[in-house]
Amino acid sequence: MLLSSLLLVPFLGTLVLLLWPGSPSPQRLRLTCIAILAVQLLLSLAVLAGFDVHRSGLQMVELHSWLPGIGLDYSLGVDGLSLPLVLVNAALTLVSAVITRDIDRRPRLYFAMLLLISGAVNGAFLAQNLLLFLLFYELELIPLWLLISVWGGANRAYAATKFLIFTALSGMLILGAFLWLALLTGSIDFSLTPVLSERLSIGGQLVLLSALLIGFGIKIPLVPLHNWLPDAHTQASTPVSVLLAGVLLKLGTYGLLRFCLGLFPEAWAVLAPFLAIWAAISVLYGSLAAIAQRDMKRMVAYSSVGHMGYVLLAAAAATPVSLLGAEFQMVSHGLISALLFLLVGIVYRKTGTRDLEVLRGLLNPEKGLPLTGSLMIVGVMASAGLPAWPDSSPSFWCSAVPSPPSRWPHCSRWWAPVSRRCTSSCW
């Protein structure tokens, strides 16, 4: 029941906030939300404490039949891929709630949506049924759209609508692939097993894998499906940006590893060289585009596009070390990008601008932001993957692993670290 509590606590918290009688003050709502998320964090730590790191495979499995007619089971489980992401979700959602200030418009809805997103993301990471995963994957769509469109910047309607359309398309492609998998195999068993794909020809696997790659590629995001991210980040408030970059993008990479590589290993091996090239292009594109930005938030958003390309690069190699690097990259990028967005938010709040052409001298110890500047140096060095910082090992593992017998990953793995240095040097 521990895994179910990770879903129940935030969902019940959502109901509590929405059904709270009277007109509670924003501060009271905020504190209640923080308390609920603190409980969720404690539960996540309890899952960590009960997790046996020496045992591979799923642990703490919970399986209940829900709608057997359509193959939907309530099936939860945690393993080494999902546990770190659950912890990151718990931590960053709590951080988002803590840093939320001055919500005078519909605070009840704001904090309720925050809790709903947290629960949905937990559900997506823990689901062991394809339809259940998709249910939670789509559940976070509307809350995030609301968070951007109601509490965002001046151009929030455009950014929120673009996010909604892109992500809805992503969900449609993933659902279509899952349904097609069931249709082609003649089974309505949506449990997470690669056995299903073995009944398909390699051509069929490639078609379904391509649909999943595009679907998850929108979410990750990968070039050229990334266009929604910079606008969404620029228009979203700081707490929502922290959530978007730190947690929600990991849904895409999680899906990539769990469903694309996990369900279609044969087709994945066929596409691996092209995926590595795609990853390298995405990394370079994101990094170069970041250099040309004047808006700090937009720059961090494009750098996130580059960093997420690393995960695809590691997944394309599909060796034990590279997959470890991919997992580590997801966790470290989640924490580092959250830090960077937080710091950019502080600069914006204090100065009123995020324009790099205008901002100067903030490291001044008397009239500037020396602490924020110092933390920015820490964040940027970590983002650049300098040795001894959290992102250095995963970027090394993603870039320098023995590649499968194909020359393409050899070409792509050396470009990526150079682009990361270029991006971080522009700070």
Partner 1 sequence: MGLLPLGGFWCYGLMLNNLLDGSPFLAVVFLLTNLLTAVNAVRVFRAVFLGPPMPKTRRVPEVIWLMALPMVSLAVIVLLLPLMLQRIDPVPGIAAFPPGVAAAVVGSGLVGVLIGCLLPQDRFRSRSRRPALRVVQDLLAYDFYTPAIYRATIVRLVAGLAQATRWFDITVVKGLADGVGRLSMATAEGLRLSVSGQLQTYVLTVVVAIVLLFSTLQWIRVGI
In the complex, the residues that contact partner 1 under the rule CB under 8 A are 162, 165, 183-184, 200-201, 203-204, 207, 223-224, 226-228, 285, 288-293, 422
Beta pairing partners, 355: 295
Give the length of the chain: 427
Closest approach, Cβ 313 to partner 1, in A, equals: 19
Which residue lies nearer to partner 1 by CB, 362 or 426? 426
Which residue lies nearer to partner 1 by CB, 48 or 281? 281
Which residue lies nearer to partner 1 by CB, 7 or 218? 218
Closest approach, Cβ 207 to partner 1, in A, equals: 6
Closest approach, Cβ 425 to partner 1, in A, equals: 9
Q: Which of 288, 303, 270, 262 is nearest to 395 (CA)?
A: 303
Closest approach, Cβ 189 to partner 1, in A, equals: 19
Which residue lies nearer to partner 1 by CB, 51 or 415? 415
Closest approach, Cβ 290 to partner 1, in A, equals: 8
Backbone angles phi, psi at 74, to 5 degrees: -85, 95
Which residue lies nearer to partner 1 by CB, 166 or 254? 166
Which residue lies nearer to partner 1 by CB, 108 or 162? 162
CB of 413 closer than 8 Å to CB of 399? yes
Closest approach, Cβ 396 to partner 1, in A, equals: 23
Which residue lies nearer to partner 1 by CB, 3 or 263? 263
Which residue lies nearer to partner 1 by CB, 113 or 220? 220
CB of 197 closer than 8 Å to CB of 205? yes
Integer Cα distance of 332 and 319 in angstroms: 20
- Cα 50 to Cα 2, 17, 188, 328, distances in angstroms: 10, 30, 33, 21
